[in-house]
Amino acid sequence: MPDDVLTISEFSSFNIAIIVYFLGVRLNRAIPFLNHYNIPEPVSGGLVVSGSALLAYLLFGAEISFSLGARDFLLLYFFTAIGLNARFADLLSGGKPLLLLLALTVGYMFVQNGIGTVIAVAMGLPSGFGLLGGTISLIGGHGTAIAWGPQLADSHGVTGAVELGAATATLGLIAASLLGGPIAEFLINRRGARPVAALQDETPVVGLEREDEATATVTHTGMMASLLVLNLAIAVGVTLEEILRLGLGIELPMFVVCLFSGILLSNTVPLLFKGIYWPARSRSLAVISDLALGVFLAMSLMSLQLWTIAGLAGPMLLILAAQIAGAALFVIYVLFPVMGRDYEAAVLGAGFAGFALGATPTAIANMTAVTKQYGAAVQAFLILPLVSAFFADLANAAIIWLFLSL
C-alpha cells in the first residue's frame, strides 16, 4: 500500500486533462512517429502523465488519484453529437455494413476467448483464466472484469480474478490506444485504402481536419446553439433511459440512449420546424465534439494506475501478447476485406482495434485521429458505436456464459 494518497480535485483534474491534451499535441508534433501513425494526442500526453504517476508511486510511495466526475458527462456530449450528426439516409445505407460488422464482432469474440482459453489450458491453468484474458477484460473492459471476477474466483479457480481482470483491462486499453492508428496507416498506404476526393471534401461527422483547425469559422452564437441542442438531447436521453429502466426493465448505457436521442431529434425537429437553426454537421458542433472526446480520453489515460499492472502474471502477459497479434491479424485479413477494402473499412479497422482491446471511446479516438489526417468517414462513425457500445455488450454476456458452461 502507498504511504500517501494524493487526490486531485474535480476542477483541477479537468484542467490538468486540458494541459495533458496540449502536451500530447506538442509530443505528436515533435515526434514524427506519433503523428505519422495517428496516435491520438490525448493518448500521447496521457501516457506521459500516468507514467510519471507510476514513478512517483515506485520512488516515493505516493499514489496520485484524479477525480473523474466530469469525464462521464463529456462522454454524453460526444455520443450525443454523433447522434445529432446522423441522418436516417446514412443509417439506412449503413444497414448491410452494420450487419456485417456485427457478425464480424460476434465471430471475433469467439476467436478472442478461444485464444485465451487455449493458451491458459496449455499452461495448465483454469479455462476461466483465459476468458479473463479474453472478452471479459478486453472487449468487456473494467466494468465487465469487476462484474465477472467474483464468479471466476469462487467457481472457476481463478485466484485474484477481480484485480487481475482490472489490470488486464488497463493494459488492453493502452494497447488499443496505440494499435489502431498504425493498422489504419498500413491499410491506407500499403493496401490502397486511400480516401476518394469526395470524401476528403465532405464535412466530418466528428472532428476537424488538421489543416482546417486554424481557419474554421466558429461563432459564439453557433457554439451556444450547439450547446443548447446538445443539452436538450441529453435531457431527452436521460428521460428515455429512465423509462426503459424503470418502466420496461431494460438497462442500457446512458451514452447509448443519448446517441439514439440525438438521432431521433436530428431527424424530426428540423422537419417539423422548418425555420429553426439546427447545428447538425456544423463546425461549432464539431469543435464541441472534439473538445469532449479529447478531454475525456486525456482524463482516462492520465488516470491509469499503471502500478496495478505489476500484478499481472506471466501467463496473462503471454495471452495479452497473443490477443494484440490476433486483433491486428483479424483486422487486416478478415475485417478489412469483408468490409470492402476501402477507406471506410480502414477507418473501421482502427476503431475495431480500439474496442476489441479497449473501449468504445478509444475506438472513436483512433478513428478521429485517422480522419483528421485523411478525411471524413461518415459511415464508420455511425455504425461502429452501435455495434461496440450496444450489441457487443449483449453478445458478450451470452458468449462468456457459453464458454464458462463448457
Q: Which residue has the cell 474535480?
A: 10
All three cell numbers of 237, joined, read: 436521453
Q: Is the pLDDT score of 66 beyond 60?
A: yes
Distances (CA, A) of 77 to 180, 227, 244: 23, 9, 20
Distances (CA, A) of 352 to 4, 185, 303, 359: 39, 14, 23, 10
Residues paired with 62 in a beta bridge? 4
Q: Which helix (H) or strand (E) holds 374?
A: helix 360-374
Q: How far apart are CA 133 and CA 275, in angstroms?
A: 53
pLDDT at 5: 84
The pTM assigned to this predicted structure is: 0.81
Give the confidence band of 392 by pLDDT, cuts at 50, 70, 90: confident
pLDDT at 201: 47
Contact 292, 255 (CB under 8 A): no
Residues paired with 64 in a beta bridge? 6
Using a 10 angstrom Cβ sphere, with 0-12 exposed, 13-18 middle and 19 or more buried, the burial of residue 338 is middle
Residues paired with 63 in a beta bridge? 5
SS3 208: coil
The string of pLDDT tens digits covering residues 107-144 is 999 999 999 999 999 999 999 999 999 999 999 888 78
SS3 263: helix
Q: Is the pLDDT score of 166 beyond 60?
A: yes
Q: Of residues 212 and 400, which shows the higher confidence score?
A: 400
Mean pLDDT of the chain: 87
How far apart are the two ends of the chain, measured CA to CA in Å?
A: 38
The string of pLDDT tens digits covering residues 302-359 is 999 898 887 777 899 999 999 999 999 999 999 999 999 999 999 999 999 999 999 8
The string of pLDDT tens digits covering residues 75-102 is 899 889 888 887 777 666 667 888 999 9
Contact 349, 183 (CB under 8 A): yes
Residue in 88, 41, 85 with CA at minimum distance from that of residue 285:
85
SS3 359: coil
Domains of the chain plus CATH, in order, are 4-221+252-405 (1.20.1530)
- C-alpha atoms less than 13 angstroms from C-alpha of 383 in its C-beta half-sphere: 28
The string of pLDDT tens digits covering residues 223-269 is 999 999 999 999 999 999 999 889 888 777 788 789 889 989 999 99
